[in-house]
A and B are shown apart, each in its own frame.
Chain A
Amino acid sequence: MSHVVSSTTKTDAAPDRKIALLDATAGVLVKHMPAIAAAVGLVVLWQFVVWFFKIPTFMAPSPVDVAYAFRDNAGILWTNMLPTILEAFLGFVFGNLVAILLAIWFVHSATAEKAFYPIAVFIKAIPIIALAPILVLIFGNGLAPKIIIAGLICFFPTLVNMVQGLKSASPAMLDLMRVLSASNTEILWKVRLPSSMPFLFAALKIAATSSVMGAIVAEWIGSSFGLGALIIEATYNFRSPLLYATVVIAAVLAVVLFFIVSVIEARMIRWKPAGSH
């Protein structure tokens, strides 16, 4: 008897869920209609301009040419995308991890902050494109220099935001913890880290897109693999449709990383600062 009941509810629920999913998708489409329409409009305009002014393909390929490039070079694009994803991801993880740990150290030791903050600013001031050859000379032509560049580019915004976030706990909150005889570790875990989360995610969203940029820039310096290397190769061989396809993939990669961070943020931070309604 119970089997029958449960099976009927299952069959009832399935179409409901499908309809709900369809509703949600339609809702998202309607919400983003202006953006979608604008994007499609611009692509059509681009196609029209290339066609009307008879612009040669090597100079600026039409959207249709780029679409063909995707189809013809799917294998090359795929094999070169994987190392770039790996470099951007590992750079993102290590760059942010070091920044977070350093920020925690700075907040607990004024001396450490005074000693190393200026050095962090100086490293930030070195143009990343100038740093790439130096790192290639030191670490060779493998994944390491790319991961380091991607990490360095994530590092600074996260360090600055995280220091500010860890210091954003109100003096009254710290007084409260003192009255409760809380240890520094307890203050860190119960007050400082949670209150720094909005600051951290603001930085992580910047880092998500710039880590892809860092990986690609690093691949420009004598690399034989990755989207960056593919960009250089396609440019020198006048394979413009392939160049454009690579750029589109790099952009999509950055947007996807940004989106993932945003989704995690929305799930993690459901509170609003005290006193706001």
Chain B
Amino acid sequence: MLGTAKLMPNVPLTEPAATAVSIRNLSVRFGDRNNEFTALSDVSVDIPEGAFVTMLGPSGCGKSTLLRCVADLVHISDGSISVFGRSPQEARQSRDFAFVFQDATLLPWRNVIDNVRLPLEVGKHAQKHTMPGNYADPHELLAMVGLKGRENSLPHELSGGMRQRVAIARALITRPRILLMDEPFGALDEITRDRLNEELLRVWQETGTTILFVTHSIPEAAFLGQNVLMLQAHPGRVKEFMKVDLPFPRSLAVRDTVEFIGVTAHLRRLLEECL
């Protein structure tokens, strides 16, 4: 075990069924009056604390937009989002969540360890709100994502999968209570993606972080999620918030079971109904 206790969010946990993210009647519209586009319409959902929720839906259903609303990257038109009882902006400033993008977005001039440390160097104003010393050890995190010994490598010397591991380590350094992931493994080959899926589940179980994970892969959504939030398009709205009845801890072998195939078949039917 790699210092599990240290990686846990050190904010006192309330009762187990507490809500991490509560979304109420959320609508997001882009453009001006003459040329308005509704990305999300009347979305309401509660994400329990400690949950692993995957978000699935046809392209253009607004799953990334929903994630970016929670991250305070997109302006909300109507409704509300509360992240542990606070607005997304307050949650961002107190470093309640971290974001992992599809592209690893490492700073190419910084080596691996300095990239992981980046969140500790910026947002000095925001850091005043957080407790001092509330950070994980970068070396420990790199060991956890399997990059021990690559501290001094530059991003262009790493493979795509390794770069995404660095991005995950960087996200975990502030010990976020929520991890927001926007198709983080979408650009990787299938073997790398499978490995990282398994490792992400391990990280989730070791840290107890709530994870919101956008994907357009049905097996990935079923394998990772305790729950799958299915969205449909035009306008983006909730189709179904369903529980995945597969036991944890899950290994890749679970994907060959009848139960798993049942889940993916159900998800595929739902997805087809969305079109």
Contact = CB atoms under 8 A, between A and B. Distances in A.
B122 A173 contact: no
A265 to B, nearest CB: 13
Contacts of B121: 186, 190
A178 B73 contact: yes
Contact of A271 (B105, B108, B124, B163): B108
Contacts, number: 83
A190 B93 contact: no
A269 B123 CA distance: 26
A176 B173 CA distance: 14
A90 B143 CA distance: 50
A76 interface: no
Contacts of B124: 183, 186
A90 to B, nearest CB: 30
Contacts of B126: 180-181
A191 interface: yes
B154 interface: yes
Q: Chain A interface residue count: which class?
A: 20 to 34
A175 interface: yes
A183 to B, nearest CB: 6
Contacts of B105: 170, 172-173, 175-176, 274
Interface string B83-116: 0000000001101011101111111110000000
Contacts of B119: 180
B269 interface: no
A272 B118 contact: no
A191 B108 contact: no
B122 A274 contact: no
A181 B154 contact: no
Contacts of A176: 99, 101, 105
A277 interface: yes
B33 interface: no
B161 interface: no
A177 B103 CA distance: 14
A14 interface: no
Nearest to A190: B122
A217 B113 CA distance: 50
A116 B268 CA distance: 56
Given A172-B101, A175-B73, A181 B125 contact: yes
B187 to A, nearest CB: 9
Interface in A164-179: 170, 172-173, 175-179
A272 B163 CA distance: 14
Interface string A246-277: 00000000000000000000000111111111
27 contacts: A175-B73, A176-B101, A177-B122, A179-B72, A179-B97, A179-B98, A179-B99, A180-B118, A181-B93, A181-B95, A181-B123, A181-B125, A181-B126, A182-B122, A183-B122, A186-B122, A186-B124, A190-B107, A190-B121, A194-B109, A270-B154, A271-B154, A271-B156, A272-B108, A274-B103, A274-B104, A274-B163
Given A270-B154, A271-B156, 16 more contacts: A172-B103, A172-B105, A175-B101, A176-B99, A178-B72, A178-B73, A179-B71, A179-B99, A180-B122, A180-B126, A182-B123, A183-B122, A191-B107, A274-B104, A274-B155, A274-B156
Interface of B: 68, 71-73, 92-93, 95, 97-99, 101-109, 118-119, 121-126, 154-156, 163
